[in-house]
Chain A
Amino acid sequence: AQSVSQHNHHVILSEAASLELGCNYSYGGTVNLFWYVQYPGQHLQLLLKYFSGDPLVKGIKGFEAEFIKSKFSFNLRKPSVQWSDTAEYFCAVNAVTGGFKTIFGAGTRLFVKA
């Protein structure tokens, strides 16, 4: 069955620290990959997406993610986090073979200490 695994459920960092959130998926065929973010009290927002092409994708607010097909991974990175990055982050995947129903990871709660 298709699945998405996020390696960390909770992450605590100090401001200016580097961030890497792991994501692996199990899904056959061509996939679309996403990272969503949910800030406290707000709704899900798209952080970045990968459909095809350059496997290193850049999103909003200085985030980037790298698609490594051989590892079925799509890790999220940010070189220097800010207090305002405190949020919950979701890795997600969909594919035409699955009718585009999106499969989400369990989410990672990031807390950035000022």
Chain B
Amino acid sequence: EAGVTQFPSHSVIEKGQTVTLRCDPISGHDNLYWYRRVMGKEIKFLLHFVKESKQDESGMPNNRFLAERTGGTYSTLKVQPAELEDSGVYFCASSQDGGSSYNEQFFGPGTRLTVL
């Protein structure tokens, strides 16, 4: 079974440019999460999709970040315009929705974003 994949693995852009990150969850996983790790800090939650709906976007830093999951499959995270403080590693994770209290999330390899 294929795991969670993310594209690109690295992105270097200049301040003010736009970048779009993509995440493909494990097939059949309704839940999709985005997390971010800024250099030297902890991994922080950004948002959670259940299928195509945003369940929780309380972690999104500001309105320069836009996440979508059209059709409930892959998701994109767009940063527009990018700022220096957006640099970090963006992780995606997915999980099944078993309706229980257990939730194991499977993480992708991350996209390392560098804003110059």
Contact = CB atoms under 8 A, between A and B. Distances in A.
Interface in B9-60: 31, 33, 35, 41-45, 48, 55-56, 58-59
A99 B102 CA distance: 11
A31 to B, nearest CB: 9
Given A100-B95, A102-B33, A36 B107 contact: yes
Contact of A43 (B59, B95, B102, B109): B109
A11 interface: no
Nearest to A29: B101
Given A32-B102, A51-B102, A102 B108 contact: no
A30 B102 CA distance: 10
A104 interface: yes
Report, as a range, how many residues of chain B touch the other chain: 20 to 34
Contacts of A104: 35, 42-44
27 contacts: A4-B42, A30-B101, A32-B102, A32-B103, A36-B107, A44-B91, A44-B110, A46-B104, A46-B106, A49-B104, A51-B101, A94-B103, A94-B105, A96-B101, A99-B48, A99-B55, A100-B31, A100-B95, A100-B103, A100-B105, A101-B33, A101-B45, A101-B58, A103-B45, A104-B43, A107-B42, A107-B43
Interface of A: 4, 30, 32, 34, 36, 42-46, 49, 51-52, 90, 92, 94-96, 99-107
Given A44-B107, A92-B43, A99-B55, 20 more contacts: A32-B103, A36-B107, A43-B107, A43-B108, A43-B109, A43-B110, A44-B110, A49-B104, A96-B103, A99-B56, A100-B95, A101-B33, A101-B48, A102-B33, A102-B35, A102-B93, A104-B35, A104-B42, A104-B44, A105-B42
